[in-house]
Amino acid sequence: RAKADGRGNYCFFREEMAQTVEARRILELDLRKALANEEFELYYQPLVNLKSGKITTCEALLRWNHPVRGTVSPVDIIPVAEDMGLIVDLGRWILRKACMECMLWPEPVSVAINFSPQQFHQRDVLTEVRYALEVSGLPASRLEIEITESSLLRNTQWTHDALQQLHAEGVRISLDDFGTGYSSLSYLHSFPLQKVKIDRSFLEGIDSDRPLTLLRGVARLSSDLGMSVVVEGIETNEQLELISADGTVTEAQGYLFSRPVPAQRIRQLLNASQGVRQKDGKVLSLPT
């Protein structure tokens, strides 16, 4: 019912903006309380080795069980937590929690943890990681840290050294969402990275019209550069067959195998089946 004249629209606009600012303020207040109130939870999604069919790693994915809104996606949490400077505390909680939960899994299975740029670029990131390993008792070889291109493009000398030290510690570094940024793989390769996760967008239309050339090229180049290759977002058996064909892709992740599931469920799954992939692609064969 805003007036049609300029002034009415202006007022209407202001009101809407105020609502957004208010909503954001409430979200921030809620987020601050959430950590203390233990409203956060980690879900886990398996990465499956294509040769053995076994789960090698489970990626920790943040969920927020908001008392009123229900489950809130990390896409809505992480950027706000970054703006608020809360990401360091939240990231620390995620890191320690995920290391502790991985300790309950069968021996070789690793945990992959997403580090946002601000979390990665805190001065004592190495100390944080060492501490999490120490208090959990998790060997460094079972920890994988996922960073994105944007983390690499900032403060590059420091970044290079930090990655080198983490690698020396025995932790694996994985480049997440590759292909969504603008850097070439050969540039990114100047950093010590052990894994490349090819973004799900590379799969769009792959089983119908789009040629596989791009995905195969990126996979082959990564593999030739000595990195292992993961394709994320596998939803169909056709996609799985297509990416498996030439043997350059090491691991795959996606709804075909399993959606992200709560900690207790991933634990049951890993312990019961050793996480072996079934004929239909699924690794989750336990009753829901």
- φ, ψ of residue 125 in degrees (nearest 5): -60, -40
- Please report, as a single letter, which amino acid is at residue 11: C
From candidates 114, 116, 159, 253, binder to Mg ion by CB under 5 A: 114
**Which residues, numbered 223-282, are part of the site for ligand C2E (CB under 6 A)?**
232-235, 253-255, 260
Q: Which of 101, 128, 144, 177 forms a contact with ligand C2E (CB under 6 A)?
A: 177
Q: Tell me the window of 23-31, 74-82, 122-130, 270-278 that interacts with ligand C2E (CB under 6 A).
A: 74-82
Per-residue binding string, ligand C2E, 17-46, x by CB under 6 A, is ----------------------------x-
Counting contacts by CB under 6 A, is residue 176 touching ligand C2E? yes
Closest distance to ligand C2E from the beta carbon of 250 (Å): 17
Chosen residue from 114, 174, 228, 250 binding ligand C2E by CB under 6 A: 114
From the list 50-58, 112-120, 218-226, 277-285, the region that binds ligand C2E by CB under 6 A is 112-120
Nearest approach in angstroms of CB 68 to ligand C2E is: 20
Query: Contact region for ligand C2E (CB under 6 A) — 57-65, 188-196, 204-212, 277-285?
Result: 57-65
Regarding 149 and contact with Mg ion (CB under 5 A), the answer is no
Please enumerate in sequence order all residues whose Cβ is within 8 A of that of 176, keeping only pairs 6 or more positions apart, or say none: 114, 146, 147, 148, 197
Alpha-carbon distance of 33 to 168, in angstroms, equals 37
Residue 262 Ramachandran class (φ > 0 left, ψ -120 to 50 alpha, else beta):
beta
CA distances to 84, 97, 221, 223, 253 from 44, in Å: 26, 12, 29, 26, 11
Q: Does 128 bind Mg ion (CB under 5 A)?
A: no
- Nearest residue (CB) to Mg ion, 182 versus 287: 182
Measured N-to-C along each axis, helices 6-36 and 74-84 cross at an angle, to the nearest 10 degrees, of 90
What are 26's two structure tokens? 């409430």
Q: Determine contact, residues 91/79, Cβ cutoff 8 Å.
A: no
Q: Which of 192, 185, 186, 198 is nearest to 166 (CA)?
A: 192
Stretch that binds Mg ion, among 19-27, 36-44, 83-91, 177-185 (CB under 5 A): 177-185
Question: How many Å apart are CA 145 and CA 114, to the nearest integer?
Answer: 6
Binding site for Mg ion (CB under 5 A): 114, 146, 176-177, 232
